[in-house]
Structure 1
């Protein structure tokens, strides 16, 4: 799974919401959500998704926490009780633009 924020001005906070679906037969329990960088935070609500149900992955990327502009790629890791995919990786990308003066 991936999400592209597109072009964002340096210093801007970008947010996104991705639907998380439970296609399994049992309740999907989100055990942990971690990110590859302090500039990115994420959480899944609710942390238990019933069979056939949906939740939301809420993502926040703060481009102001890095001085560089240009393309960026960050990772979100979601650990759950899913026996087939105990960890899912979500890639987020953005093209951070230098501020105009």
Structure 2
């Protein structure tokens, strides 16, 4: 009888010891998880900081190169022909309309186009200089390391695509869209092309 009581009390002690060990293990696991989480946050923050520094360094060195080009080789001057275009009545059923605009460098230094974007997703643009085509640009397009040079006296050609059916029936009626170009022309850092259309079914 005494042996049974001792065995039962030993079992209780063992249970308590087991519970303590489990609590300690849980605390250790919890501490490890917190430590791993902190390390992950530090690594992520460091990666984001490094990416930001690389982005800013690349952008500033690009601007510096452009400024050096201008200092050494004259001043660029952008001329867009035509600067405005009216598609007139354009049917949704007719499909995508296209217009080509001449982007001329009328200055005596290299003209650099370092950004193109549009005012609406229904409008996109591609710049052609010589035998090179840019990526297709649209609303919200941001390619920080893309740029294209047009030498003094030379021209590039901007192909603009307008999809009258993009917005569906609610897009019927008068439409005004804008294509923007970011340049190193000191007189015209942001150039615009204005597009008008009257969308019909």
Count of residue correspondences: 98
Q: Which has the higher helix share?
A: 2
For 1:4 and 1:66, how far apart are their aligned partners in 2?
19
User: 1:16-60: CA deviations, max 9, x gaps?
Assistant: 101111011111111010000000001222221110111101100
**Of the two, which has the highest radius of gyration?**
2
- Detail structure 1 runs of 4+ shifted over 4 Å in the superposition: none
Structure 1 spans left out of the alignment, 5+ residues: none
Q: Which has the higher strand share?
A: 1
Report the TM-score, using the length of structure 2 for normalisation.
0.47
CA RMSD of aligned residues (A): 1.1
Structure 2 spans left out of the alignment, 5+ residues: 1-82, 130-147
Whether the 8 Å contact between 1:30 and 1:44 is mirrored in structure 2 is no
Report the TM-score, using the length of structure 1 for normalisation.
0.91
For 1:96 and 1:5, how far apart are their aligned partners in 2?
9
Whether the 8 Å contact between 1:36 and 1:75 is mirrored in structure 2 is yes
User: 1:55-97: CA deviations, max 9, x gaps?
Assistant: 1011001111112211100011000111110110111111111
